[in-house]
Structures are given as C-alpha cells and as structure tokens.
Chain A
Amino acid sequence: MTPAAPLLPYRRHLSEYWRDFNKEIVSFSITILLVVVGGLISQGYSDIGYMILRIKVAAFVGIIGLIQATVILSGGGGIDVSVGTMASLGALFGAAIMQGRDEMLLPALLAIAAVGFVLGLVNGLMITRLRIHPLIQTLAMSYVITGIIVAYSQGRKLLGRPSPLLERLVNDRLGPLFIIILVWVALVVGMEFLLRRSRVLRKVTAVGTNERTALLCGVEASSVRTAVYAWSGMCASLFGALALGSVHTVYLDVGNQYLFPSVVACTIGGISLAGGSGSYVGVLGGALVYTFLQSFLVTLNIDEAWRKVLFGLILVAVLVAYSRSRTAK
C-alpha cells in the first residue's frame, strides 16, 4: 500500500468558490436586495413579521421545488408537470379521509402516498420503458389526474377538512418562526446532505449528467429514473396534504397553482434543465426570490397585468444573466 497521499483541497482559489456557488450567492443576494429596496419604497415591507409570513409562503414553493429539482436532476429531459395535479389529488383524498380527525391523519397520509407513488410509478415506467418524453408523459398524466379529480368530485359535495394536527403543523409558530419554515429548512439541509453524500442521489446526478458513462459504471438510468418519478409522485401527493393545511376549505385545484412556481424556483436556483447539476440550497434561494419578487411587485402597487409583465421581464433578465455566465466560463 502506498503511503497516504497529501489531501488535496476541493477548491483553492476564490474563483473556484464562485464557480461552484454562484447561483446560491446570486439568489440570496437578490432576495436581500428586494427586501432592502422594498423597505425603502414602502414602510413596513421590511417588517420582520411580514417577512416571516412571506417566508412561510416561500416554504411551500420551496418544498415543491425540492421535488421538482430532483426530477430535473435525473436528466433525460426530466421534468414533472403533474406535480400540481398530484398535489390537488392528495389534498382532495386527504381531506376526504381525514374528515377533520387527528386519528385519521396517518392513514390519510399513507393512502395519499400510496396513490401518488403508483401514479408516479406509471410516469416512470412510461418514460423509461416506452421512451416517452417526460414533459409529454407527465402532461398526459396531469390530464388523467384532472380527470380522476373531476370524476371523483362530480355531484359530490366536497366534504372533508384537514386534521387539526396538520393545520397546526402548517400554521403554528415555534418562537417567531412558523413550524413549516423549520420543516422546510430541515428538508433542504437533509436533502443537500444526501445530494453530496448519499449513493442514491449521486446515482441520480450521474444519470442526469451522462447516461452511458453511468451505465458503464453499473448504474442503469431506467431504474434510477423510474424510482425518481415514483418518489416525485408520492411526495407531490403528500405535499398536497400539506397545502391542505394552509387552506381551510377544499377546492379542486388547490395544488395546481404550485406547478409553475416549482419550475421557477428551480430555474432561478440554478438547476440546469439538462440534468445533473444544481443544488437544493439553490432551490431554497430560488423559492425565496420568487416569493419576495411577487410580493415586491404587489408592494409597488401596480396592477395585476403589469405585475405579470414585470415578473416575466425580470425572469428573462435572470435567465440571460445565467446563460452569459455559462458561456463566459
């Protein structure tokens, strides 16, 4: 055995830190910038209480963003546009099973998870075995889920309420912060750790970077991706239950509104759509930027139409900046 070699550093120069963490740095900086400028423009914007409320909203976007990020990381055009409808389905079933009772919380969660897992598994199998593009497959699945929701809820009074425990999880505070925010941060920390250290997520990013190389190292893309989509379906459904806790009455597309934000959070957070690269901390930053940007635009007191235009323009600017940084390398 050769004597132990000197341990090389991961990074030597400051420029390497920028290379590896620029997306996270940029998104946090933009958030801070928005808070500062917002505070200057409108008194009370930077008030801690309001900020925490906004972070609570960001937590939802952030959690669904983690799910979407994992799918995108797995590559092969990976994206899951059915997460919104999965969440709606989860909320619907969850409310119906829970009926506002704590003792039904666990069975409800298990049932939601099972349903989401099966549907996600169908996505995964269609994508990997039949080689249907993920965008198309998950789009078609979202049609099917919408159909299920319509079929189920037709002529039926939408009964059901989330269990009080669930509502407390989402709406209660621990100190100044909401529990849901702590849950979010814990999830990000946990998943980031897994991303760097666990075999599972290393296989996911490998398959997202280069399928052939991964295969020659013994990692098969189809099994990894099938698992990712099944996991995504399960988590998106469970997320629906979470979303349920934040609203008090059930309505049909409570989850659909989270699809676009999930993709925006991933993009701003630096998850490359080609797969393989990006970090969950970046997605956290992306969720913050998204939420704070939306509320910033509201603070400017502009009407809905202009808000949309400005949001689009700012998103374009961020995208152009990211693409320039890539080519500048």
Chain B
Amino acid sequence: MSALQTRYKALSQSSLFVPVALAALLVVANIVLQPSFLRPHVIRSNLLTFSPLILVAMGQAVILIGGNLDLSMGFGISLLNCFIAMNMSVVPGAMGHNAAILGAGLAIALGMGAANGILVGMLRVPSFMATFATSFIWLGVAIMIAPIPGGAVPRWFAQFFKASFGPANVMLLVVVLSALAWYVVRRYRLGRYIYAIGSSWDASYANGIPVNRITIGSYAVGWCFVYLGTLALTAQTRAGDSAIGEPFALNSIAAAVIGGVSLSGGSGSPVGAIFGAITLSIVMNIIYFSGLPTSYQVLVRGLIIIAALGSTIVVRSAEASRS
C-alpha cells in the first residue's frame, strides 16, 4: 500500500469517523425538517453563523490534545471583540490604522494564550483553575474597553467573510485553510509534541521534550484559531459587547468532545472539533424547524447534546473493545 493509501486507511479508522457521521446524520435531519437547507444562501448563512464556534472549538481542541483546558476563551473572545470593535475606524482611508488594530488584536490573543500557557506550563497550575482565574481578568479588561456595547467595524471587514462564490463563501475558505494549517503544524515537531505531552507528560519530559515550551506553544496555536473565530464573530455582530463570549468557553469544550477529542489529552483532532461544532450548532437549527413550542426548545437541545455525547462515548468504547 502506498503511503497515501495507508494514511487514508488510518483516517477512516481514526477518531474522525464518529464526529463526521454524527454531523452528517444531523445535516440529513435538518434537511428533512428544513428543505430550504440546501439552498445556497441558506448554506452560506449557516456557514457564517457556525464558523465562530467552529474556529474556537478548533483552538480548544489543540489545547485539549495537549492535556489541558482553557476556560478563559469565552471572555477572551469578549476582550478581543471589544478591542477590535472599539478601535477600528470606519473613516474611509484608515486602512493602515485598521490593519494595525487587527495585528494588535492578534498580538493580544497570542499574549492571552501565552499567559495561560506560562501559568499552566511553567508555573504548573492546573489548567482548569488557571484559566478559570484568568477569565476574570479578561472579562474585566473587556468591560473596561466597552462598558456598554458599542463600537463599529468598517464595511469591508464586515463583508469580507461574506464574499461568496456558489454555495460557498470566504468563511468556508477560512475554515478549510485553518484545517490545512493544522495538518501542517501536525507534520512539525510542535504538533507531534503536543500529542506527546497530552498523552504522557512524564514520558515526554523523560525524552527531553521541552514540555513547558510545548505547552505554551499549544496555547499559542489554540489562540490563533480563537482569534480567527473572533474576527468571524465581530464581522457579523459589527459591534463590541463584553457579554458576547460567555457561551463559547463551555460550548467549545462540548464541541471538541463531540468531535472526538479526549478530555485527558493525547488523542483526537481539531478537524474533528469542526464537525463537533457543526453538530452542536445544527441541533439548534433542528429544534427550531421541528416546530416545537419555544418553551421546550432549550430542554430538547440539552437532551440531544446528552444523547450526542453518550453516543460518541458508546461508539468509541465499542470500537476499542473490538480492536
């Protein structure tokens, strides 16, 4: 078998199978309930709505694979969103300024990731608690930047992700490129070592892997994805709001887990998290179009999530006992 074929075989048996199947199942259900789902403009609109969670879930997945967690993503998104919206200028001809703001935003995102990474990697604070603590810091700064929702973004920024071709738009391209970017990182030592430290911190250390630096690296890579997600979010909300990020923290974890990423680290893939996020997002769609009375929609959403989680685990352990 050629190297390509071997890799294909490995992929089909890999942890991606269940999340993709699950997402596919839900897409079908969605189509049944909402026949217009396959219309190009609906597809594009869904892509726009789902993508922030997709990208943030990818970021969370990278950190989870490294054996850690990041609960501060939610308020970090709030911070970045407020920063961008409050500082970008809608005045025409302010390209240089806006580019600088976007660059600064990336730097801030990397800074937040690095801060978390240093706490977890070098100061050895358990990631749950460390990121729980830093989330307060990010929220506070977000409120400082935007005490009440406000700000604005230039038109070109808002339209950027919407630019379309056929049923697809630039947003889809961004997600696909992100997935490809991950595959590149995976081929490098950084990618490999993130899996190593997630699987066994002790063994990684014994092998001379710079575990601290790799931990910081995993947070940095993760927050790159988070930043992309925030850009997608801000382009759509067109404003800064310190409350906007809150659901992302726990939702990104749920999406990653549904996407096959193990909470103990060392296995899974951010690409799986893409499908986990799609699954999570489509659930709301399905419930809406199912015609359930609104009072029951939240409840059914929770039940479906539990079912999705249960099925993920059950299928995985069935596979494991078979092999």
Contact = CB atoms under 8 A, between A and B. Distances in A.
Within the complex, are A and B direct neighbours (CB within 8 Å)?
yes
B301 interface: yes
Interface string A288-329: 000000000000000011111111110110011011101100
Interface stretch (A39-47, A125-133, A163-171, A194-202): A125-133
B302 A146 contact: yes
Size class of B's contact patch?
35 or more
A69 to B, nearest CB: 14
A252 B140 CA distance: 25
Main secondary structure of the interface of A (DSSP, over half): helix
Contacts of B123: 320, 323-324
B140 A306 contact: yes
A53 interface: no
Interface in A128-145: 130-133, 135-137, 139-145
A304 B143 contact: yes
Contacts of B299: 144, 146-148, 150-151
Contact of B310 (A132, A147, A316): A132
A221 to B, nearest CB: 16
A2 interface: no
B200 to A, nearest CB: 16
Contact of B303 (A130, A147, A263, A306): A147
A32 B191 CA distance: 47
B75 to A, nearest CB: 9
Contact of B294 (A154, A263, A264): A154
A253 to B, nearest CB: 13
Interface string B224-259: 000000000000000000000000001001100100
A23 B301 CA distance: 41
B124 interface: yes
B302 A132 contact: no
B313 A130 contact: yes
A267 interface: yes
Nearest to B242: A305
Contacts, number: 136
B124 A327 contact: yes
A9 interface: no
B177 to A, nearest CB: 29
Interface string B124-159: 111011101111111111011001000000000000
A273 interface: yes
B263 interface: yes
Contacts of B257: 133, 136
A175 B146 CA distance: 46
Main secondary structure of the interface of B (DSSP, over half): helix
A6 interface: no
Given A144-B302, A316-B119, A305 B137 contact: no
A137 B298 CA distance: 16
A296 to B, nearest CB: 15
Interface residues of A, number: 50
Contacts of A139: 250, 253-254
A141 B302 CA distance: 7
B143 A305 contact: yes
A316 B116 CA distance: 10
Nearest to B137: A312
A267 B129 contact: yes
B300 A147 contact: yes
B165 interface: no
B258 to A, nearest CB: 9
A313 B305 CA distance: 34
Interface centre among A135, A154, A310 (most CB of B within 10 A): A135
A289 to B, nearest CB: 13
B13 interface: no
B188 interface: no
Contacts of B128: 79, 273
Nearest to B307: A140
Contacts of A218: none
Nearest to A318: B133
Contact of A320 (B125, B305, B310): B125
B295 A155 contact: yes
A315 B125 CA distance: 11
A301 to B, nearest CB: 16
B303 A144 contact: yes
Contacts of B130: 316, 319
Nearest to B293: A154
Contacts of B300: 147
6 contacts: A150-B299, A151-B298, A308-B137, A309-B141, A316-B125, A319-B133
Interface of A: 77, 79, 81, 126, 130-133, 135-137, 139-148, 150-151, 154-155, 260, 263-264, 267, 273-274, 304-313, 315-316, 319-320, 322-324, 326-327
Given A312-B134, A320-B123, 12 more contacts: A77-B264, A133-B263, A135-B253, A140-B305, A143-B302, A147-B302, A150-B295, A150-B298, A273-B129, A305-B144, A319-B119, A320-B125
Q: Which 10 A-B pairs have the closest CB atoms?
A: A147-B299, A312-B136, A308-B140, A143-B302, A154-B295, A309-B140, A144-B302, A312-B137, A305-B143, A315-B133
